[in-house]
């Protein structure tokens, strides 16, 4: 158990809909990351927050957005969903930003768009 909690574990929704994925980082971790992993694809970095502020942005679509709240939990919002958005979405957290920083991953949220 990494200590990173993601909900829901599974989600099925229709095209055009909007969903919110939730992440609670490990206790004490200030940095949260979101990744997307499609079938047979590698892990695609989406976005990173540190202590409530956006820190780095990767291949995140404009239809997707995220935020980190004062209690450090984070939400990833996916809107106008398309079939191709079906994937496993991981949240990860780390203590800080220093070099040598270790990232710990949650078990993911399975999103199926039908």
Partner 1 sequence: LAKTTQPISMDSYEGQEVNITCSHNNIATNDYITWYQQFPSQGPRFIIQGYKTKVTNEVASLFIPADRKSSTLSLPRVSLSDTAVYYCLAGGADGLTFGKGTHLIIQP
- For the beta carbon of residue 69, count every other beta carbon within 10 angstroms: 11
CA dihedral 16, 93, 106, 18 (to 10 degrees): -10
State which of residues 5, 52, 55, 67 lies at the interface with partner 1 (CB under 8 A). Answer: 55
Distance between CA atoms of residues 13 and 26, nearest Å: 28
| Tokens matching residue 43 | 């892990």
Shortest gap between Cβ of 105 and partner 1 (angstroms)?
3
Residue 95 found at the interface with partner 1 (CB under 8 A):
no
Q: In this complex, which beta carbon is closest to partner 1, that of residue 11 or of residue 88?
A: 88
Q: In this complex, which beta carbon is closest to partner 1, that of residue 70 or of residue 98?
A: 98
Cis peptide before 8 (omega within 30 of 0): yes
Token pair 């984070």 is found at 74
Shortest gap between Cβ of 16 and partner 1 (angstroms)?
26
Q: In this complex, which beta carbon is closest to partner 1, that of residue 12 or of residue 56?
A: 56
Give me the residues that bind partner 1 (CB under 8 A), please: 2, 4, 33, 35, 42-43, 45, 48, 55-58, 88, 90, 92, 96-108, 110
């Amino acid at each position: 158990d990494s200590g990173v909690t993601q909900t829901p574990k599974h989600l099925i929704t229709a095209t055009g809909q909007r969903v919110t994925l939730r992440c609670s980082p490990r206790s004490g971790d200030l940095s949260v990351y979101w990744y997307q992993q499609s079938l047979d694809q590698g892990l695609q970095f989406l976005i990173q927050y540190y202590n409530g502020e956006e820190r780095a942005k990767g291949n995140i679509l404009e239809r997707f957005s995220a935020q980190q709240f004062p209690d450090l939990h984070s939400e990833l919002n996916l809107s106008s969903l398309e079939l191709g958005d079906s994937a496993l979405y991981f949240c990860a957290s780390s203590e800080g930003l220093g070099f040598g920083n270790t990232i710990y991953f949650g078990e993911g949220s399975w999103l199926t768009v039908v």
